[in-house]
Every structure is written in C-alpha cells, then in structure tokens.
A and B are shown apart, each in its own frame.
Chain A
Amino acid sequence: MPEPENSIVMTDDQKRRQRRRNIAIGVALAALVVIFYAVTIVKIGGQIANRSF
C-alpha cells in the first residue's frame, strides 16, 4: 500500500532511536511492576494466611 501524502517517513536513525526509547519505557514499566510487587509483599508482611477477617 503506498504511503499517504504528508505521512511521516522515518529514517533508519529515527527508527533506531524510537526503538531504544521504546525499550527504555518497557524496562521502566517492568521495573515498576517489580517495585509494586515487592512493596506489596513487604507492606502485607508475613502471616497473611493467618489473618482474621
């Protein structure tokens, strides 16, 4: 399919930079998941199964 007029055609360098930024965002999001998991475990603490409701 031909490129529509006025669309952005990225150079190889721009594609490379975009890919690196995407990887960095992915790593940051993965780190956030790990952080929230770890903080949750620490905040809940031990003996979670023995808590009364």
Chain B
Amino acid sequence: MSLASDHITPTPVAQPSAGEVRDFVTLLKPRVMSLVIFTALVGLVRAPDAIHPVLAGVALLSIAIGAGASGALNMWWDADIDAIMTRTRGRPIPAGRVTPGEALAFGLVLSVGSVIVLGLTANLLAAGLLAFTIFFYAVVYSMWLKRWTVQNIVIGGAAGAFPPMIGWAAVTGHVSLESILLFLIIFFWTPPHFWALALLKSDDYARAGVPMLPVVSGPDETRRQILIYSIILAPLGVAPWLFGMTGLGYGLASIGLSAVFLLLAVRVWRERTGEAAKTAARQLFAFSILYLFALFAVLLVEAMMAGWI
C-alpha cells in the first residue's frame, strides 16, 4: 500500500545564486558593447552641435548599458539554443551559474534605467531610439526573427546599426543624413560579417535549429548573398565622403578598405570547397571587423582633428 505522502514531492527550496560578478558582466556581451560604445562615440563627435563632456560621457554610458541590457535579455531568451551551440554553451545561463530569472531581471532593470538616464541626460528622441533598439534586439530579433526566418541577421542587424544614430540624436535632438548613412553602413555590413562566420559554424546553427542562411539555403547561396551585400556596402562606405561630409582622408581610406572587402567577398564567392573556402570565409570575417573599426576610427580622428571634440 502506498501512502499519499509518497507522492508528494517536497517543496523545492530556492537555491542561492551561483553567479559571480563577472557572469553578470558576461551577460552584457562586453565585446558587442565595446563596438556599440565606439560607434556611438563617433555619432556623438560627428554631430554638428556641441554637448557638455559630462553629458556626452553619461549619454555614452547609457547607450552602452542599454545595449548590454538587450544582450542580457537575448541570453535569457536564447538559453536553450546557447546550451546546444559549442560557441555559446559556456555562457552563464546554460552553464548554470546564473538563473534565467536573474538574467531577465538584470536585463529589464538595466533597460529601463539606461533609457531613463539617457532621456534625462540628453533628450527624448535619443531615449526613444535606445528603447526601440533594445526592443528590436530583444523582442523583434531574439524572440521573433532569429528562429523564424532566414533573413534574421539582415533585419536584426538594424539593432546594431542604431548606436551612432542614437549618439548623434543625443547631441542634436534630431536625425540627419550623415547619421542615417552611419546606420546604413553598419546595417549592410552585418549580413556579410555574420554569414562569413555562419559559413564556418553552420553545423552549430543547424544543430540548434536556427535558420541561418547556410543551413536553409546552402553555402553557395550564402556566398552569393555575401557578395550582393558587399557590393551594396562598398559604395555606402564611401558615401559620407561622396556627400561631402568627410575629408579626403576618409575618402581614400574608405575606397581602399571597401575594395579589399569586395575582393575578399569575391574570393568567398569563388572558393567553394575545401580548406580554401574556409580560409576565404575566415579572412572575410576577420577583415569585416577591421573594416568597420577602421572606417569609424577615421571618422573619429577626422572629427578630433577638426576640433569638434
């Protein structure tokens, strides 16, 4: 005879958090954050108006924290995928060091806090753009697009493209052509950058069931799409100079960098098998990081030399 009490499981006792401070820092995706800080800084210093350095610093911090918060929300939502992929299985939630609830609370508090601080420090447009960026990355990209469409990276890339526009809006209170160009450069840079990585890691994405382009449409179609986006990106990279918004230094740098980007994209398109194909994808991925960093660095240096900072 079984007793009723045999079927009653004891009430689980909440376990204390196992998270170190560095685990919560990891939730903010520090490497993505560093790129956000850098591109937002360029937006801030390229803006034609002036802003007090203290306000600029706090605005930059708010944008960085907002971006980090969206990263934490992304890790909360994607914990099941992260546990499967080798690249991400060591993240704090799948590794069991931070509970999903902690990550969610952490992301939400920082999201709301960063938007409020940016609104108080700069203006409502910048705060609104930051709120939209967090929403776009955490909800539109992470919850909706990433697992649903092969265009996840293309549309979701907008989230990473907003920071320079937010920086610009924090100073001027509006959005203008140059800030839109900075947005477009990052927007069209994102697909070839991520697809080059996806070509190398397609097994990982396939195992996790994420419909990345190489998984759904195959590597050849991915190579074709990388080339198309690179062809669009190259003139966009040069556009700030063509529109007379930058000096000759940026013009020459952007032409050279865009030419190399195109060359590497063509190589990815042509080299389709064996180690040569992997090397081509790896080179394009590595150069794409340098490309974006160098373009924005030249913009920053030009602004500093012009005494805008």
Q: Could you list which residues of chain A lie within 8 angstroms of chain B, going by C-beta atoms?
A: 6-8, 10, 14, 17-18, 20-21, 23-24, 35, 38-39, 42-43
- Does B117 lie at the interface of the complex (its beta carbon under 8 Å from any beta carbon of A)? yes
> Given that A39-B120, A39-B121, A42-B54 are known contacts, is A20 also in contact with B16, CB under 8 Å in the complex?
no
Contact partner, A35, options B15, B24, B52, B58, Cβ 8 Å: B58
Residue of A8, A18, A23, A39 with most partner-chain B CB within 10 A: A39
Contact A20 B121 (CB under 8 A): no
Q: Which 5 A-B pairs have the closest CB atoms?
A: A24-B21, A14-B16, A42-B54, A42-B52, A38-B54
> Given that A35-B58, A42-B55 are known contacts, is A8 also in contact with B11, CB under 8 Å in the complex?
no
Residue of A7, A17, A43 with most partner-chain B CB within 10 A: A17
Residue of A nearest to B10 (CB): A6
B139-155 residues with Cβ-Cβ distance < 8 A to A are none
Kindly list chain B residues whose C-beta atoms are within 8 Å of the C-beta of A18: 16-17
- Smallest beta-carbon distance B207→chain A, Å: 32
| Chain B contact residues: helix, strand, loop or mixed | loop
- Does B304 lie at the interface of the complex (its beta carbon under 8 Å from any beta carbon of A)? no
Q: Could you list which residues of chain B lie within 8 angstroms of chain A, going by C-beta atoms?
A: 10-11, 13-21, 24, 52, 54-55, 58, 61, 117, 120-121
> Given that A8-B15, A39-B120 are known contacts, is A17 also in contact with B20, CB under 8 Å in the complex?
yes
Kindly list chain B residues whose C-beta atoms are within 8 Å of the C-beta of A14: 16-18
> Given that A39-B54, A42-B54 are known contacts, is A21 also in contact with B21, CB under 8 Å in the complex?
yes
CA distance A18 to B17 in the complex (A): 8
Contact partner, B14, options A8, A17, A21, A42, Cβ 8 Å: A8
Contact B13 A6 (CB under 8 A): yes
Contact B19 A21 (CB under 8 A): yes
Contact B17 A38 (CB under 8 A): no
CA distance A8 to B15 in the complex (A): 7
CA distance A7 to B55 in the complex (A): 47
Contact partner, B13, options A8, A21, A35, A39, Cβ 8 Å: A8
Residue of B nearest to A18 (CB): B16
CA distance A16 to B91 in the complex (A): 21
Contact partner, B58, options A7, A8, A39, Cβ 8 Å: A39
> Given that A35-B117, A38-B54, A42-B55 are known contacts, is A17 also in contact with B24, CB under 8 Å in the complex?
no
CA distance A39 to B119 in the complex (A): 12
CA distance A17 to B120 in the complex (A): 34
11 additional contacts (CB under 8 A) given A14-B18, A23-B21: A7-B13, A8-B14, A8-B16, A17-B17, A20-B21, A21-B17, A21-B24, A24-B21, A35-B61, A39-B58, A42-B54
Kindly list chain B residues whose C-beta atoms are within 8 Å of the C-beta of A42: 52, 54-55
- Smallest beta-carbon distance A18→chain B, Å: 7
Residue of B nearest to A24 (CB): B21
Contact partner, B11, options A6, A10, A20, Cβ 8 Å: A6
- Smallest beta-carbon distance B28→chain A, Å: 12
